[in-house]
Amino acid sequence: MSKRLYAVIGLGRFGSAVASTLVSLGQDVIGLDDNEDRVREIGELTTHALQIDATDIRALRQAGVNAADVAVISIGENIEASLLVVMQVKDLGVPHIIAKAVTPLHGRILEKLGVTRVIFPEREMAERTARSLVIPNALDYITLSSDFSIVEVTVPTKFVGQTLRSIELRARYGLTLVAIKRQVAGKEETLVSPPADQVLLEGDIVALLGKNEMLARIETIR
């Protein structure tokens, strides 16, 4: 994983979680907020934590935001400030901008401003919660579109000891196996696009691609 510099602007619950996770992944992080307490709380975790007015482009430049590879703007509650900060960060030439939105209109405006990605934390958490109710054994879930997703589940007992060819996932279940994760000598290995003669083992974690309605039926496979 290559190391990059991230500027996280807005250190509420979402921003702080993003900043601390990035640091745990070995990335350099500048944490910025106008609230002194938030800056103090995150200060020990980030590379730099500063109390600034992020709507001031001079303050952003002095904080080093212009050198960032990615800016994460987590000022969802104050929409006016969120939009202004996005414009300032764009003017500083940051190549990738991720912005938190709190309403669909807010999100559409952010998109028109040219941000790389708009995030709706509450909506995405609600969607993940709903999916976990439909597929309780799902270990992870990636949405590709409104119709298709990738879900990670522990291999169903019915498939253990069988080859991918004999299971006929696509023909019988409308699913495509993208990868297999398994423990080998105490280490996790990932087999991407495994061959048809690959045998599934007990404890394997399989990543399955398919329509959401087909993925929801995984629980019925025993």
For residues 22 and 30, give the distance between their C-alpha atoms in angstroms, rounded to a whole number: 10
For residue 71, which of 25, 3, 4 has the smallest C-alpha distance? 4
10: left (phi over 0), alpha (psi -120 to 50) or beta: left
User: What is the pLDDT, as a whole number, of residue 25?
Assistant: 84
Total domains in the fold of the chain: 2
Question: Given 3-state DSSP classes, what are the helix, strand and coil percentages for the chain, each rounded to the nearest 5?
Answer: 40, 30, 35
For residues 175 and 159, give the distance between their C-alpha atoms in angstroms, rounded to a whole number: 14
pLDDT band for 77, please (50, 70, 90 cuts): confident
Whether residue 150 sits in one domain with residue 86: no
pLDDT band for 1, please (50, 70, 90 cuts): low
User: What is the pLDDT, as a whole number, of residue 132?
Assistant: 67
For residues 171 and 192, give the distance between their C-alpha atoms in angstroms, rounded to a whole number: 20
**Residue-number span of the structural domain to which 162 is assigned:** 125-220
Q: DSSP letter at 158?
A: G
- Which residues are CB-contacts of 108 (< 8 A; sequence separation ≥ 6)? none
103: left (phi over 0), alpha (psi -120 to 50) or beta: beta
Whether residue 152 sits in one domain with residue 102: no
pLDDT band for 61, please (50, 70, 90 cuts): very high
Pick from 101, 119, 137: which residue ends a domain? 119
For residue 206, which of 158, 164, 167, 154 has the smallest C-alpha distance? 154
Whether residue 49 sits in one domain with residue 136: no
Pick from 119, 153, 171: which residue ends a domain? 119
Q: Which residue has the higher pLDDT, 222 or 39?
A: 39
Q: Which residue has the higher pLDDT, 43 or 67?
A: 67
Whether residue 141 sits in one domain with residue 114: no
Whether residue 138 sits in one domain with residue 115: no
Cβ-contact 92, 61 below 8 angstroms = yes
Q: What is the CATH number of the domain that holds 81?
A: 3.40.50.720
Whether residue 161 sits in one domain with residue 105: no
Q: What is the CATH number of the domain that holds 194?
A: 3.30.70.1450
**79-135 pLDDT tens trace:** 999 999 999 999 999 999 999 998 889 999 999 999 999 998 877 777 777 766 666
Whether residue 141 sits in one domain with residue 74: no
pTM of the model: 0.66
Cβ-contact 191, 179 below 8 angstroms = yes
User: What is the pLDDT, as a whole number, of residue 134?
Assistant: 64
DSSP H helical segments within the chain, as ranges? 13-24, 36-43, 57-62, 79-91, 104-112, 121-134, 164-167, 212-215
Beta-carbon-side half-sphere exposure of residue 20 (alpha carbons within 13 Å): 14
**33-45 pLDDT tens trace:** 998 888 888 877 7
Average pLDDT over residues 20-34: 90
Pick from 100, 119, 138: which residue ends a domain? 119
Whether residue 92 sits in one domain with residue 13: yes
Whether residue 95 sits in one domain with residue 181: no
Whether residue 37 sits in one domain with residue 132: no
Q: Is 221 a residue whose pLDDT tops 80? A: no
Whether residue 100 sits in one domain with residue 198: no
Whether residue 98 sits in one domain with residue 27: yes
